[in-house]
Amino acid sequence: MQRAHLEQLRRCLEEERAKTKTTLSDLRADLSQSLSASISDFSTYDNHPADVASETYERSKDLGLQKDQEHLLEQIESALERMEQGTYGWCVDCGRPIPEERLSALPYAA
């Protein structure tokens, strides 16, 4: 792989890492309040029970998004580590080279 292309992929990974960390930080801030505290604003007497269900659904969705972002961050960190070790661009399972087109589309492909 050409050095210029490798540096371009490194910059892409670093940008993606920064965006992922920001997203994770936002999700963690949203999830820092307990579910019971977040729905305590709802009065079950005044509001429809679906309001509480909607809040529960949103919390569940945010937890799933957080898990996905954590996994993505692990993949990005692993790709940057492989770059440092000189093994980036080679399949971690079979040892064959990963096509450059694939790496351009998904720079953290393992």
pLDDT in tens, 92-107: 999 999 999 999 999 9
pLDDT at 13: 98
Average pLDDT, the chain: 87
pLDDT at 39: 54
The whole-model pTM stands at 0.80
pLDDT at 1: 76
Mean pLDDT of 72-101: 96
DSSP count for the chain of H helices, then E strands: 4, 0
- Residue 87's contacts (CB-CB under 8 Å, 6 or more residues apart) are none
- Residue 50's contacts (CB-CB under 8 Å, 6 or more residues apart) are none
pLDDT at 109: 96
Do residues 38 and 59 lie in contact, with contact meaning Cβ atoms separated by under 8 Å?
yes
Q: In the structure encoding, which two tokens stand for residue 20, read together?
A: 């992922």
In which band, very low, low, confident or very high, does the pLDDT at 47 lie, cut at 50, 70 and 90?
Answer: low
